[in-house]
Amino acid sequence: MKKEKKPNIFRYLGKHKLGIVAYCLTTLLNASCGIFYTLALARVIEYISFGVVENFDAIIIVMLFTLGVVVIEHLSQYFNTLIYIKVSTSVMTDLNYDLARQAFKLDSKTYSDHGTGVFVQRIVHDPENIVNYMVNVIDITSELIMAAVMLIYIMTINVYVTLILVASMCIGLLIEFLRIRYRNKAFKQVRSEHDKINSLTTEIVRSEMDIKSMGLEDKLSEVSRQSYNSYGNTRQKFFVKNHAMFQIRNFFCSLMVVVVLIFSIYLMRADLMTLAAFMIIYSNNRLQSVVWQVGQLANQFVDMKVAHGRMFALFDENEFVTEKFGKKKVDNVAGKIEFKNVSYAYREYEYESKNKKHITSRTKKVVSENKIFKNLSFTIEPNTTVAFVGKSGSGKSTILNLMSKMFVVDKGEVLIDGININDFDKASLRKAISLVNQFPYIFDMSIKENLLLAKADATDKEINDAIKKASLAKFIKTLPNGLETKVGESGVKLSGGQKQRLAIARALLRKSSIIIFDESTSSLDNFAQKEVKKSIDHMKGKSTIVIVAHRLSTIKDADEIFFLEDGKILDKGTFDELFDRNEKFKAMFLAENI
């Protein structure tokens, strides 16, 4: 099977070759109009200097030409903008879609290894940035081309003026490149200090109540002051030096402009230069602008490379690992689950960037490892209700993640109905398993629309049956719009218990053979907990139900309970059996009910 090549920006630009060429041509046309406008006005001034009456017809012809140039300039600007809007929107949309689709392919461990901001930056911000950088490159390049054309034209007027301008540009560019080199190096430190104060400020805002309750205002104010001072000093040093180099460059360029004009006046006095030629040199002596544009062009290429590397790093299997599925299609899963000698460890990695053919790849090295399981084995029979209990860090949630293939085992096998979970095709596995998390995500839609996400063709009878079994019917009847009630972003208009029951209703609609509950009642009050437990009880005997719970009272009716400690199953049995024979289990339950 041929390995799919990693994408790059040229794949997306290739679809819009004509549009990009049209944009470049209209940009050059627009810049050219400025040159023709300057030349025409210089010619008019020259005619006027020899007498308006004698050159009246010639002046009118030149002015009509100038009028035509103005019309063409504005038309080119109009079409240039239209082309930019159409092409940039299409490229950004394609990039956003493909990057988001790639993000859906990543495994859950990859998401847990990276922050939310990493994905938002790559999927949302970088596509827009890279398009803007490329447009800036085209615009700046066209301006530089026109500047080069004018420099060649000035050479035909006077070679000495041209040599002064070229020498001045070289020195100005040297100063500018030194400034950019310092800026790129020093700005990393500024950004690092800025990230530190952002993290500190976020922690302070989020922990405001804890800070007040423990009387930590003065202590954290001092810590904040030190961090803000460190950032302020680093920022000040950076901007002072950068500004100094910026002003040195500007001063030199301005000085050389004056030198060129003085030299041109001297040439006019000696009848070696006409007034029109002087006006052309005066109007196009944009030394400072040209030097700045070259510096900006270098910056845009660097920024473009960074954005490109960040975006397409999502396709780097070494860092952003994708989910892997088999080809076995299974229509009817009974729900038997087996772990056979399963080993798994959480690892932290250190990444090193490498650039190759427009892609920034990152090699990774393990810097720490936390072994969770070694040769873990157990069996769950179909249509039974089992629970995993134990202290925090004992491996309960990891079992569920391995069971649902959110994580992949290091060694051993996870079997469903005797089939290795890695052999299932994606559709069969996802259909067979439903997962209800501690904080299920409820989308900013109506209750009914949230339910239809689980099964798009669900009938009203199926929906009503699901909400009844999830103990939601009574609550929905109290709502003026019933099932059509909008629940807000992340279900903000619902309580924790209502979110859990809506998530359970979604799971019921899917009619999965295996339903997993990960700490589903741990954040609920006693009344909400009872309602959720009642919803789970409706499923008993119809699906394999796997529960992870901190509150042991919620799993008293489980057919079997696995008691974990340090990644090992210390004991298993019914609630009563464990309570009678296992002192640690008994102590946990009694501590919960004191």
37-81: pLDDT as tens digits:
877 877 777 777 666 667 788 888 888 888 998 899 899 999 999
Same domain, 394 and 266: no
The answer to whether residues 566 and 370 touch, using CB atoms and an 8 Å cutoff, is no
User: What's the chain's average pLDDT?
Assistant: 83
Same domain, 121 and 203: no
Closest residue by Cα to residue 30 from 80, 64, 89: 80
Instruction: Please give the pLDDT value at position 17.
Output: 92
At residue 383 the predicted structure's pLDDT band, cuts being 50, 70 and 90, is very high
* Percent of the chain residues topping a pLDDT of 70: 90
Same domain, 443 and 375: yes
Counted residue by residue, the chain has a size of 594
Count of C-beta atoms within a 10 Å radius of residue 236: 11
134-150: pLDDT as tens digits:
999 999 898 888 888 88
Task: Report the domain count for the chain.
Answer: 3
DSSP H or E segment with residue 154: helix 126-157
Q: Residue 360: left if φ>0, alpha if ψ -120 to 50, beta else—which one?
A: beta
Distance CA 574, CA 387 (A): 10
DSSP H or E segment with residue 568: strand 568-573
Distance CA 144, CA 294 (A): 8
Over 90: is that where the pLDDT of 378 sits? yes
Instruction: Please give the pLDDT value at position 280.
Output: 76
Distance CA 218, CA 211 (A): 10
Same domain, 530 and 444: yes
380 occurs within a structural domain: yes
Distance CA 58, CA 256 (A): 35
Instruction: Please give the pLDDT value at position 18.
Output: 93
CB environment 11-25: b (16+ within 10 A), e (fewer): ebeeebeebbebbbe
Instruction: Please give the pLDDT value at position 381.
Output: 93
Which residue type sits at 376?
A: L
Over residues 103-123, the mean pLDDT reads 80
Burial group, residue 468, by CB count within 10 angstroms (0-12, 13-18, 19+)? middle
Count of C-beta atoms within a 10 Å radius of residue 503: 26
Give CA separation, 502 vs 172, 279, 435, 496, in Å. 66, 76, 13, 10
Instruction: Please give the pLDDT value at position 51.
Output: 67
Over residues 531-538, the mean pLDDT reads 69
Distance CA 164, CA 184 (A): 30
Instruction: Please give the pLDDT value at position 1.
Output: 40
The answer to whether residues 123 and 99 touch, using CB atoms and an 8 Å cutoff, is yes
Distance CA 102, CA 314 (A): 7
Instruction: Please give the pLDDT value at position 359.
Output: 45
18 occurs within a structural domain: yes
98 occurs within a structural domain: yes
Q: Which tops the pLDDT comparison, 590 or 285?
A: 590
Same domain, 233 and 264: yes
Instruction: Please give the pLDDT value at position 213.
Output: 66
Over residues 526-543, the mean pLDDT reads 70
Over residues 585-592, the mean pLDDT reads 77
Q: Which two tokens stand for residue 280?
A: 């052309």
CATH number at residue 402: 3.40.50.300
Residue tagged 């030299």 (tokens)? 263
159-179: pLDDT as tens digits:
888 898 889 888 988 988 888
Same domain, 288 and 143: yes
User: Is 0.85 surpassed by the pTM of this model?
Assistant: no
Domain region containing 132: 8-156+277-323
- Three-state DSSP class for residue 421: helix
Over 80: is that where the pLDDT of 14 sits? yes
Which residue type sits at 292?
A: W
At residue 215 the predicted structure's pLDDT band, cuts being 50, 70 and 90, is confident
Over residues 398-425, the mean pLDDT reads 92
Q: Which of 231, 251, 272 is the last residue of a domain?
A: 272
Same domain, 432 and 445: yes
Which residue type sits at 354?
A: K
1 occurs within a structural domain: no
Give CA separation, 127 vs 3, 117, 304, in Å. 25, 15, 10
Handedness of CA 125, 128, 131, 137 (dihedral sign): negative
The answer to whether residues 389 and 570 touch, using CB atoms and an 8 Å cutoff, is no
Same domain, 473 and 374: yes
Q: Which tops the pLDDT comparison, 227 or 523?
A: 227
560 occurs within a structural domain: yes
Which DSSP symbol is given to 424? Answer: B
Same domain, 24 and 51: yes
57 occurs within a structural domain: yes
CATH number at residue 318: 1.20.1560.10
Same domain, 463 and 516: yes
Q: Show Cβ contacts of residue 413 under 8 Å, excluding neighbours closer than 6 positions.
A: 338, 339, 340, 341, 342, 420, 421
328 occurs within a structural domain: no
Q: Which two tokens stand for residue 38?
A: 């300057």
DSSP H or E segment with residue 22: helix 17-49
Instruction: Please give the pLDDT value at position 24.
Output: 92
Over 80: is that where the pLDDT of 365 sits? no
Which DSSP symbol is given to 373? Answer: E
Distance CA 7, CA 26 (A): 29
Instruction: Please give the pLDDT value at position 150.
Output: 82
Instruction: Please give the pLDDT value at position 562.
Output: 93
Q: Which of 54-58, 201-205, 335-339 has the lowest mean pLDDT?
A: 201-205
Report the 3 state secondary structure along 202-227. HHHHHCHHHHHHCCCHHHHHHHHHHH
Distance CA 524, CA 151 (A): 75
Over residues 251-260, the mean pLDDT reads 87
Instruction: Please give the pLDDT value at position 431.
Output: 87
Distance CA 178, CA 192 (A): 22
* Percent of the chain residues topping a pLDDT of 90: 19
Same domain, 300 and 229: no
21 occurs within a structural domain: yes
Over residues 105-118, the mean pLDDT reads 78
The answer to whether residues 263 and 164 touch, using CB atoms and an 8 Å cutoff, is yes
Residue tagged 């019914």 (tokens)? 574
Same domain, 419 and 567: yes
DSSP H or E segment with residue 502: helix 496-510
